[in-house]
Structures are given as C-alpha cells and as structure tokens.
C-alpha cells in the first residue's frame, strides 16, 4: 500500500513547551516562537536547534532551488569536513581576530581544530594540496550546503542569530582579476534568480569586505523590524545604502531625507583576489607554463536565516506563513468528521489526495476525524498550509462541491472535484 501523509502520524510536537520554557521576549522573536510552537524546530541548547520533519522539508525545498541555480552556472557540489585545522587559519592570519567566535576542539595528539564558521581556508587547502590546477579547469566553482558554527556572544531570535546555522558557501577560482570579476557577476545574477524564486523582496547593497577580505563585496538583505542591520532608504526614489557608507541623512539623487530601516543580512558575496591563495599556495599553470596564484571569490547564502526571516516577515502573530515555494506541504485536505452526515464523502477526500499527489503537489490529509472540521481548520491555518481543502457539507450536493481555501490570500472557492486539481495547478 502506498504511504499516505497523515497529520495524525506527523511528528509535529505543538504547544508542548510551557510558557516558562520559552526564551524571554528580548532574545526571542515571532518567527522563533512560531517555529517552536508549530513543531518546525525545537530548542536543543542555547542557539542550537533541531530541524523537525516540517522544518527539514522546507529546508530541502530551499536547498533544491539553490542547487538548481548553482547547476545552471556550472557550480559543482562538494562536502568539506566540519573541522578545519587551526594551523590553516594561522597561516591566513584570521585566527587572532576571529578566535572569540570560534568553537575550538583539540584531538588526542594536541592538534587544534575549529568548527568552521566559513571555509575559505579549508577549500583553498584542498586545491593547493592537489598541486597546480590546469588552466582549462578554470573558472572552477565549488560549493556546499552545510552546517556552520559561530560561538555568538549573544545568540538570539532563534535561527536568526544561532550558534549553528545552515549556509550555502560557494568558492570560485579564476586565472586573473578580470575573469574573477566576470565570475563574480555571474554568481550575483544567480543570487537574484534564487531570491526571486523565493519571492520575498530583497535589497542588494555594496558592502565592506570586512574580515573575509578582498576588493568587491555585496550584501543581500531582507527588510524586517527584527533585523540587527540598518539600511537607509529614500521612500521617494528608492535609493538606499548600507551601514558602511559614509553617514548621509539626505538622498543624493532627490535630496529627500533618508529613513532608517532594520534589515536582516541573508547573503554576502566577496571578490577575494589572492588573499587566501597566496598564503595557502593555491595555484594554476598559466599559458607560459608558470605557476600563478588563483584569484578567488566567496559567496554565502544563509539558508536557516532565510527560512526564519521569511517566516518573520510573512507570518501573523498566531499563524505561520511560508513563501509558497518553501511551504513543507502545499495543501492540507480535511475530510468529514466521523459520525457526521457527510461522512460518506470521506472517500472523495482520499481520491483528491491521490490526484494531487500524482500531480506532484505536496499534500497531507488531516485524518483526525474525531475532531470537528472547524477545529482542524484552525490548526491547519496555524501550521501554515497555503491551501486548505475541506470536504464538508457541500460534498453531499447533487453536484458535490469542495471548499478550497487560499489561506495566504484570504479567499475561498467552492469547486467541483475535477476543478480543484486544475485550480491548484494553475496557481502553483
Ligand atoms: Zn531619493
């Protein structure tokens, strides 16, 4: 028998956390509380979270979007070890300034490692340890989607500032600065596509390369009150600038005053030059058979942060809202209550379930038929299913009608069975 996604079987611990166990509001946020209360994630220890089945499903959808766009620009996926030898970070002189935020580990021989917050040293060492690259391998674009660690002085706001987080990091290798700049621009446009597919408006800001280093850098931001970054925005002409620009209070193009708006950084790109390839000796063989340092780029995108910020921006205080493309299940079907007049229409609900599943729509059925439709409907709204399909009273009409609720747009329709699939397909 084919497996059916049933709410009754779902591992979704909801409303089980006593109020006193929830973090104080100044270190918490709407998205944090909603994700815990609706069983998306659970707290493991300070700033560390378990992705429960619904959370992981959303994360995997985001991963798929990123993988598809990375593939289209020739990105090749790899996994680097979580631990990086501390000696590599000493060779690039990053150890001293970063040490307070690093989780350090020592092996039985006294050799030091760090749980990597970023992998420039690690990937550059992989390249240099394999000898010089051949010219025809360039540009080389290697990326991973993996856990990263940072021992935050003040972990807060759930996945927005956690100590363990999930990031896509891409590293590019080119023969010279001109080619590396070209690669940088190609990745930037892939970022635009990824963020457009997620569907939440973002800002791209020219930024300070900071401790990662290099010559050009951009940040990607979502606007949200919860954010710890400040963006200055002109509401008149949409001019904006990041915190690194010299402090201006008037818009340079239309002279209106600039508003300060909070934002969350969700991505950061760097044209690194040879900052890492020189100390770690990562080279290629040029046309004159000489070894030259590779010119690198580094591109981060915070998956766990994108999920949390999206929920923060889209949700109401009580009901979670996902970007449509990332919702763990797109449709929840509610069959009639046990013992009700319309119980005989229950098979309609299951027919519809299989029809949607066969069309590759992520669907789950709320089979807790001892509960009223009303109660299950309220819970479906809280859980954030974008579409809730109710097989209720109207399913007994001479022409049976199904209620389709478009939760995110607050609209509802009564459709005939064969129209439901078409309606959902058109929207999705
Ligand atoms: Zn302006």
Q: What is the DSSP letter of 394?
A: G
- In this prediction, residue 206 carries a pLDDT of 85
Separation of CA 340 and ligand 1 centre (Å): 61
For residue 189, the CA-to-ligand 1 centroid distance in Å is 25
The reply to whether 272 and 398 lie within a common domain is: no
Cα distance between residue 315 and residue 77, in whole Å = 33
pLDDT at 341: 92
What does the pLDDT average to over 25-30? 75
Whether residue 378 sits in one domain with residue 289: no
Q: How many A from CA of 299 to the centre of ligand 1?
A: 30
Share of the chain above pLDDT 90, in %: 79
Task: Give the mean pLDDT of 31-48.
Answer: 93
Count of domains for the chain = 2
- Residue at 237 is within a domain: yes
Q: Residue 186: pLDDT above 80?
A: yes
Ligand 1 mean position, distance from CA 282 (Å)? 45
- Residue ending a domain, choose from 314, 339, 355: 314
Q: Residue 177 pLDDT > 70, yes or no?
A: yes
25 pLDDT more than 70: no
Distance 208 CA to ligand 1 centre (A): 23
| CATH code for the domain in which residue 310 is found | 3.30.930.10
Whether residues 277 and 343 share a domain: the answer is no
320 located within any domain? no
Measured in Å, residue 184 CA sits from the centre of ligand 1 at 28
Residue 256 C-alpha to ligand 1 middle, in angstroms? 6
Distance 241 CA to ligand 1 centre (A): 11
Q: Work out the pLDDT band at 15, boundaries 50, 70, 90.
A: low
Decide if 395 is inside a domain: yes
Rounded to the nearest angstrom, the distance between the alpha carbon of 243 and the centre of ligand 1 is 17
Instruction: Give the whole-angstrom CA distance, residue 338 versus residue 151.
Output: 51
Q: What is the pLDDT of residue 31?
A: 93
Which pLDDT value is given to residue 78? 98
Residue 398 sits in which domain range?
329-427
Contact 151, 307 (CB under 8 A): no
**Residue 253 to residues 93, 221, 231, 244, 250: CA-CA distances in angstroms?**
41, 22, 17, 19, 9
Rounded to 5°, the CA angle 332-338-341 comes to 105
- Condensed to tens digits (0 to 9), the pLDDT of residues 281-303 reads 999 999 999 999 999 999 999 99
Q: Would the pLDDT of 17 be above 60?
A: no
Pair (11, 89) in one structural domain: yes
- In terms of Cα–Cα distance, which of 77, 165, 159 is closest to 123? 77
Q: Are residues 383 and 269 in the same domain?
A: no
The yes-or-no verdict on residue 16 having pLDDT over 60 is: no
306 and 345 housed in the same domain: no
CATH code where residue 393 lies: 3.40.50.800
pLDDT digits (tens, 9 = 90+) for 256-274: 888 899 999 999 999 999 9
Specify the range with the lowest mean pLDDT, choosing from 72-81, 226-235, 271-280, 408-417: 226-235
Same structural domain for residues 152 and 278?
yes
Q: What is the CA radius of gyration of the chain?
A: 25
The helix-helix angle for 303-314 and 30-37 (nearest 10°) equals 100
* Ligand 1 centroid from CA 234, angstroms: 5
In a domain, residue 323? The reply is: no
**Are the CB atoms for 367 and 311 separated by under 8 Å?**
no
Q: Is residue 121 part of a domain?
A: yes
Statement: residue 62 has pLDDT above 70: yes
Do 368 and 308 share a structural domain? no
pLDDT at 241: 84
Domain boundary among 289, 314, 339: 314
Please check the confidence at residue 323 and state whether its pLDDT lies above 60. yes
Q: Which of 23-27, 84-88, 314-318 has the lowest mean pLDDT?
A: 23-27
**Is 28 part of any domain?**
yes
* Strands across the sheet containing 112-115: 83-85, 112-115, 103-106
- What are the distances in angstroms from CA 285 to CA 131, 132, 278, 281? 10, 6, 15, 13
Query: Measured in angstroms, how far is the CA atom of residue 388 from the centroid of ligand 1?
Result: 43
Among residues of the chain, what percentage have pLDDT more than 70? 94
Provide the pLDDT for residue 252.
Answer: 85
pLDDT given at position 23: 59
> Could you tell me which residues come within 8 angstroms of residue 340 by beta carbon, excluding any fewer than 6 positions away?
none
402, two tokens = 């199904």
Average pLDDT, the chain: 93
Contacts of 349 (CB under 8 A, 6+ apart): 333, 334, 335, 336, 365, 389, 391
The reported pLDDT for the residue numbered 239 is: 86
Q: Model confidence at 212, in pLDDT bands (50, 70, 90)?
A: low
Residue 238 CA, ligand 1 centroid: distance in Å: 6
Residues 218 and 333 in one domain: no
Distance CA 35, CA 277 (A): 41
CB 325 within 8 A of CB 198: yes
Give the distance (Å) from ligand 1 centre to CA of residue 235: 7
Residue 18, Cβ density class (10 Å: 0-12 exposed, 13-18 middle, ≥19 buried): exposed
Residue 72 pLDDT more than 80?
Answer: yes
206 versus 129: the higher-pLDDT residue is: 129
Mean pLDDT on 62-86: 98
Q: Residue 298 CA to chain centroid, in angstroms?
A: 18
Going by their DSSP bridges, the two strands 387-390 and 331-334 should be labelled as: parallel
Query: Rounded mean pLDDT of 105-115?
Result: 97
pLDDT band at 178 (very low <50, low <70, confident <90, very high): very high
* Residue 25 lies inside a defined structural domain of this protein: yes
Looking at the structure, tell me whether residues 373 and 233 fall in a common domain: no
Whether residue 245 sits in one domain with residue 171? yes
Domain end among 263, 285, 314: 314
**CA–centroid distance, residue 257 to ligand 1 (Å):** 8
Asked if 308 and 372 sit in the same domain, the reply is: no
- Position 242 confidence tier, pLDDT thresholds 50, 70, 90: confident
Q: Is residue 246 part of a domain?
A: yes
Q: Which two tokens stand for residue 166?
A: 């999930």
pLDDT digits (tens, 9 = 90+) for 225-239: 999 899 988 888 888
- Average pLDDT over every residue of 312-326: 96
pLDDT at residue 213, as a whole number: 62
pLDDT at 203 over 60: yes
Average pLDDT over residues 16-20: 58
């Amino acid at each position: 028998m084919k497996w059916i996604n049933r709410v009754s079987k779902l591992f979704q611990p909801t409303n089980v956390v006593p109020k006193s166990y929830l973090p104080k509001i100044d270190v918490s946020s709407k998205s944090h509380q909603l994700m815990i209360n609706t069983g998306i994630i659970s707290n493991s220890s300070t700033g560390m979270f378990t992705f429960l089945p619904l959370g992981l499903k959303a994360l995997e959808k985001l991963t798929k979007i990123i993988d598809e766009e990375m593939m289209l620009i020739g990105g090749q996926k790899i996994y680097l070890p979580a631990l990086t030898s501390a000696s590599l970070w000493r060779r690039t002189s990053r150890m001293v300034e970063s040490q307070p935020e690093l989780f350090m580990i020592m092996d039985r021989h006294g050799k030091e490692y760090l749980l990597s917050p970023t992998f420039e040293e690690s990937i550059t060492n992989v390249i240099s340890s394999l000898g010089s690259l051949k010219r025809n391998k360039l540009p080389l674009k290697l990326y991973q989607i993996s856990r990263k660690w940072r021992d935050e002085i003040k972990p807060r706001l759930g996945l927005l500032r956690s100590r363990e987080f999930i990031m896509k990091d891409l590293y590019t290798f080119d023969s010279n600065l001109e080619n590396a700049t070209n690669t940088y621009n190609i990745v930037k446009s892939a970022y635009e596509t990824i963020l457009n597919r997620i569907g939440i408006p973002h800002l791209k800001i020219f930024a300070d390369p900071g401790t990662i280093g290099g010559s050009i850098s951009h940040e990607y931001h979502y606007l949200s009150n919860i954010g710890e970054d400040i963006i200055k925005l002109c509401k008149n002409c949409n001019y904006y600038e990041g915190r690194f620009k010299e402090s201006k209070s008037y818009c340079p193009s239309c002279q209106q005053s600039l508003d300060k708006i909070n934002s969350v950084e969700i991505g950061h790109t760097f044209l690194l030059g040879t900052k890492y390839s020189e100390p770690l000796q990562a080279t290629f063989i040029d046309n004159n058979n000489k070894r030259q340092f590779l010119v690198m780029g580094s591109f981060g995108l915070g998956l766990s942060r994108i999920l949390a910020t999206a929920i923060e921006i889209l949700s109401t205080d009580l009901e979670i809202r996902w970007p449509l493309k990332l919702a763990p299940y797109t449709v929840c079907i509610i069959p009639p209550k046990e013992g009700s007049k319309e119980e005989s229409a229950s098979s309609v609900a299951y027919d519809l379930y299989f029809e949607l599943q066969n069309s590759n729509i992520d669907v789950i059925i709320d089979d807790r038929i001892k509960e009223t439709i009303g109660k299950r409907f309220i819970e479906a709204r809280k859980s954030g299913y974008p579409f809730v399909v109710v097989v209720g009273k109207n399913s007994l009409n001479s022409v049976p009608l199904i209620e389709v609720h478009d939760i995110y747009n607050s609209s509802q329709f009564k459709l005939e069975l064969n129209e439901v699939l078409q309606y959902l397909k058109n929207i999705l």
